[in-house]
Structure 1
Amino acid sequence: MIRLMIQIDEAVYGIGSINAQQKQVLLSSTVVRWREDASTPARSLCLLCEGASPDAVLAQLADELHGMGHIGWRGELYAVREETRDEPIALIERAAAKFLGLKTVGAHCNGFIVDHQGRPSHLWIGKRASGKATDPGLLDNLVGCGVPWPQTPDEAVIREGWEEAGLPASCMQQALLQNVYQVDRQDAGGQHRQRLYVYDLVLPREVKPQNQDGEVDAYFLLAIQEIVVDLKMARFTADAAITTLDFLQRHALTGTPSPENGLDEVWRRSAGDISTCE
């Protein structure tokens, strides 16, 4: 992979990771300028701001990539972060993040009900709308979202809880953060480099999620055995699969992913290079 950098005044920041084909697309830009490191041209590419604000330069780049058909358009801003820091140094259209291999933040919430012994028995699983630009028709968690700037993961889960599942803030505030993963995998649109926040929310049996924004076709209350089958059949989005497998393991509903239970391939396919964050 090729390291993507940005120069702001005299400072240079590492911000992303791209492949050789994406590098050629970026070098063909007519609206922004790049510099290749003469000593390591195959390993790095630097975006030059040349006195302009980084937000403006990145906005021009996103517009151009969209016009060339390389990215869609979401109308949300993502923070651009240096490799080793969480503080944003600029903002960019969300749809450009994966193409440029930027560090992003996601939040997913497992919604579940329990049996008379208090043990999880079923999870609420959504089917993504067929018209969505990414992963149409695949299964997803109760809530699954990217975290736009300046929201926190907690705030994004609460907002999306209403938009995706019709659950009020008073309900979503009961969701508990369980794990944080750093995910790094190659997707069709680029390098998916995301800090994924995993939440759990136990729901009363009488509560039934109802989509509000048209991004979920339907919700299904599925037993654990059904979910395991769907995971093995690759019917979940990759991030939803990670979130669901995390839930199943924490609650001792399945064993650790292994060839014996068939879940090792699900984890490998979905997670890529993954680690837990302290």
Structure 2
Amino acid sequence: MSQPVSDGLLQLVRRCNSFSVKDSVKTCKKFFVEGKQVGLIRSSFGEQMKKFPDTFTFSPDGQEIHLSDSLTTVEQRTDNLDAVLQKLRQDHTFMGLRGWRDEKYDVRQKYEDKTLLRMERSATSLFGVLQYGTHINGYTYRKDGQMMMWIARRSPTKPTWPGKLDNMCAGGLASGLDVLTCAKKECEEEASVSSEQLEKLKAVGTISYFYQDERGLFPETQFLFDLELPSDFTPVNADGEVAGFQLLSIPEVRKLIVSDSFKPNCALVIMDFLIRWGFVSADNEPHYAMLVEGLHYPLQSVYS
């Protein structure tokens, strides 16, 4: 592997781990629901919460924001918070809410914990709550045995990362869906993969990272799947979220993921694929140990 690509891989990992929980004490307030910390809120957004005393309370030192204890059920918390978010959305106060999805995410301290409330997807970065998704690496083999990978290009009308290159299929884990159901749903909707072909869908682990941008904080865990497809298969988008697909060799993909044309977290998914399949190894990649470590931010314990 050339040194520029190698440096690009390291820069990609660092970009997707741009948020430091250790340093957040200076810039963020802890967010609690039912006595459990489930997120981090930037101080600028935290000040807005003071406008809604029926929904949020503050600790005496002002460093903690709690969803009101008067909201005792998942439904009450969800409805009350949704009303607040709708008001903030109408005020055009925060960039993150401009990409409103009408899709809810479950909020909990760790993945295996009970759901404490359901939150509009676009708002999760404002509260720094853990987010989950599924990503599918679709690959096949040419007649000469060379492995090829299907790469999608996001629709130019997507609210986030429009027009960027992406995994063949991917999607956020909406409230009420289990991981495998979500993965199959994304394959069917985004690439028209048949139920017969989905029998080869293989769960291969997770990656996790924690980045920040102008929209907020993104502590994300992605559940990963590999899917070997027939050589004569061509993905066809069915939900309008993909502009097109291209079939590329592994060397071509390896160069593309360090470019600005790729959605960064999706590039991490492919980096993990390259590592697992031995295309990136300790013998050909000087930053190998740091790359592997950077793909697994310990999010399941970060708020515990």
Into which bin does the TM-score normalised by the smaller protein fall? 0.7 to 0.9
Pair 1:257–1:191, CA change in 2 (3 A)? farther
Pair 1:262–1:14, CA change in 2 (3 A)? closer
Pair 1:168–1:263, CA change in 2 (3 A)? farther
SS at match of 1:75: coil
- Unpaired runs of at least 5, structure 1: none
Identify the match of residue 64 of structure 2 among 44, 55, 67: 44
| AA at the equivalent of 1:91 | R
Identify the match of residue 37 of structure 2 among 14, 25, 37: 14
SS at match of 1:199: strand
In the alignment, structure 1 residue 196 sits paired with structure 2 residue 222: yes
SS at match of 1:274: coil
Answer whether contact 2:124 2:131 (CA < 8 A) is retained: yes
How far apart in 2 are the matches of 1:56 and 1:218? Answer: 38
Identity %: 23
Answer whether contact 1:179 1:199 (CA < 8 A) is retained: yes
Answer whether contact 1:33 1:48 (CA < 8 A) is retained: yes
How far apart in 2 are the matches of 1:276 and 1:80? Answer: 14
| AA at the equivalent of 2:60 | A
In the alignment, structure 1 residue 168 sits paired with structure 2 residue 211: no
Q: 1:86 maps to which residue?
A: 113
Answer whether contact 2:165 2:262 (CA < 8 A) is retained: yes
CA apart distance, 1:187: 3.1
1:172-183 equivalent positions in 2, closer than 5 A: 172-183=198-209
C-alpha offsets along residues 143-197 of structure 1, whole Å, 9 cap, x if unaligned? 1110101101110111111111111233224211101233222133211122210
Identify the match of residue 49 of structure 2 among 22, 26, 36: 26
Q: Which has the higher helix share?
A: 2
- Unpaired runs of at least 5, structure 2: 1-23
How far apart in 2 are the matches of 1:49 and 1:276? Answer: 26
| AA at the equivalent of 2:119 | I
In the alignment, structure 1 residue 73 sits paired with structure 2 residue 95: no
**Aligned residue pair count:** 266
Q: 1:100 maps to which residue?
A: 127
1:133-144 equivalent positions in 2, closer than 5 A: 133-144=159-170
CA apart distance, 1:83: 4.8
Pair 1:174–1:4, CA change in 2 (3 A)? same
The CA RMSD measured in Å over matched residues stands at 2.8
| AA at the equivalent of 2:86 | D
1:101-250 equivalent positions in 2, closer than 5 A: 101-115=128-142, 121-250=147-276
Q: 2:57 maps to which residue?
A: 35
How far apart in 1 are the matches of 2:119 and 2:208? Answer: 21
Answer whether contact 2:140 2:148 (CA < 8 A) is retained: yes
How far apart in 2 are the matches of 1:24 and 1:266? Answer: 38
CA apart distance, 1:235: 2.2
How far apart in 1 are the matches of 2:232 and 2:111? Answer: 45
Answer whether contact 1:81 1:88 (CA < 8 A) is retained: yes
C-alpha offsets along residues 90-127 of structure 1, whole Å, 9 cap, x if unaligned? 11222111221111211000000125686x62110000
How far apart in 1 are the matches of 2:104 and 2:111? Answer: 20
Higher relative contact order (Cα pairs below 8 Å, separated by 6+ residues): 2
